[in-house]
Structure 1
Amino acid sequence: MTPEQRYEDRRERLVEAAYTLFALEGFGSTTIERLCATARISTRAFYEHFDTREDLMETVYRRCVQASLTVVGTAVRQAEPTLESRIENGLTRYFAWVTEDIRRARILHLEVNRAGDALQAVRRLMLVDFTAFVEEAVEGLHGMSREDLRLLAVGLIGSMHELSLAWTLADDPPPVDRLAATAIHIFRRAFGA
């Protein structure tokens, strides 16, 4: 490998280690030393890529957010051009995707909050991205003002977060189809669909 390829390989191994350790052992319980041992890199190499554990968590979180937007975006684009179809396809696919791998659910809905204040700003930026996505998905299909739609989108995203968090923390998680059905019901009622 070239030096650049080795650099990227070490970085990717570190991100993959963080994805698993932050999700399954918890952000607070995962030390830099443990991350480095799992990624098979030196502690010095860690600091070539990231300044802090929070910086690494931000990278993992952003990847999860981007992947979720891609998955849901594809589902919405494949739906019939109706509000009902977009709601159903988007939410069904989101809950299927986020629950396929418990690490996704834990990073997106639990561990990012446990990472503390350092990640609250990036979490807020991701909320803006999700809000814009919901606005775009229903644009022209509902006659509410832009500001009302934005506020409604924030509330609906909050409901999805709480449903996902409840599933993540449950000793006996509810069936995924029930999560999706509940979210679909909330969205339908909110938009009068």
Structure 2
Amino acid sequence: MAERRERLISAAYVLYSELGFPDTTIEKLCTVARISNRAFYECFESRDELMLVVYDRCVRETLETVAKAVERAPDTLPDRIEAGISEYIRFITGDRRRARIMYLEVRRADDGFTASRQQTSAAFCQILETSLFELPEKGGVEPRLVVLGLLGVVQELLIEWTLAADPPPVDQLVGTAVHIFRRSLVG
């Protein structure tokens, strides 16, 4: 059963990113995974559950990669910002399928993914708040909300990269995001 489950996860990773979540049927998933429809339901209750597993795996791999990059960076705020943001964007853009799943297809799925997306944002905020810096509250500005807003900037850059017919170079995305973070957090 574990092997069939893994084949379905691999099929979903490809099909959800190529065809899109709405156009990926259970039949298509089963054909690519080389299993029966009945076997699908032995592994997952629905396409939505499978999407959540694929999304969560993408997020977990990204979080692990970013946390390691920040740990290896020199212990200065600008260096940790650059290491974390650079690794995040490079890891996401290293596989267009990952970018599509994390930033487009999960939004096309059931509304039940809202909680998972919020947990993901909270996890990335936690890395930024604990690994990158400790921001004191200044002038009524809540540091966690600043970080959340900055994550929104990165998300929009990645959505643009994913959807654009002629996407901007990854180095430009990294440079732009690092610039915005530094200006917002370092001054």
For the superposition of Structure 1 and Structure 2, which TM-score range results when normalised by the shorter chain? over 0.9
CA distance in 1, matches of 2:182, 2:133: 15
- Is 1:173 equivalent to 2:167 in the alignment? yes
Amino acid at match of 1:117: D
Residues 86 and 174 in structure 2, CA contact (< 8 A), matched pair in contact too: yes
Q: Which residue of 2 aligns with 1:3?
A: none
Determine which of 41, 50, 53 is the counterpart of 2:47. Answer: 53
Residues 30 and 37 in structure 2, CA contact (< 8 A), matched pair in contact too: yes
CA distance in 2, matches of 1:137, 1:82: 11
SS of the residue corresponding to residue 112 of structure 2 reads helix
- Is 1:143 equivalent to 2:136 in the alignment? yes
CA distance in 1, matches of 2:58, 2:44: 18
Determine which of 115, 118, 135 is the counterpart of 2:112. Answer: 118
User: For each residue in 1:17-56, what CA deviation from the matched residue of structure 2 results, as whole angstroms up to 9, or x when unmatched?
Assistant: 0001001110001000000010011111111111110100
CA distance in 2, matches of 1:173, 1:139: 31
CA apart distance, 1:138: 2.5
Q: Where does 1:38-117 land on structure 2 (aligned, <5 Å)?
A: 38-117=32-111
SS of the residue corresponding to residue 59 of structure 1 reads helix
- Structure 2 gaps of 5+ residues are none
CA distance in 1, matches of 2:71, 2:186: 21
**Most deviating of 34-43 and 118-127:** 118-127
Determine which of 156, 170, 181 is the counterpart of 1:162. Answer: 156
CA apart distance, 1:127: 1.3
User: For each residue in 1:100-152, what CA deviation from the matched residue of structure 2 results, as whole angstroms up to 9, or x when unmatched?
Assistant: 11001001111000113121121111111111111112334x4347x822111
CA apart distance, 1:192: 2.5
Q: Which residue of 2 aligns with 1:4?
A: none
Residues 13 and 97 in structure 2, CA contact (< 8 A), matched pair in contact too: yes
**Most deviating of 88-97 and 180-189:** 88-97
CA distance in 1, matches of 2:80, 2:160: 24
Q: Which residue of 2 aligns with 1:29?
A: 23
Q: Which runs of 4+ in 1 moved over 2 A?
A: 142-145
Q: Given the two structures, how large is their TM-score scaled by the length of structure 2?
A: 0.95
User: For each residue in 1:137-182, what CA deviation from the matched residue of structure 2 results, as whole angstroms up to 9, or x when unmatched?
Assistant: 2334x4347x822111110111111000000000000000000000
- Structure 1 gaps of 5+ residues are 1-6
What's the Cα RMSD here? 1.3
User: For each residue in 1:78-112, what CA deviation from the matched residue of structure 2 results, as whole angstroms up to 9, or x when unmatched?
Assistant: 10011100011111111111111100100111100
Amino acid at match of 1:9: E
SS of the residue corresponding to residue 117 of structure 1 reads coil
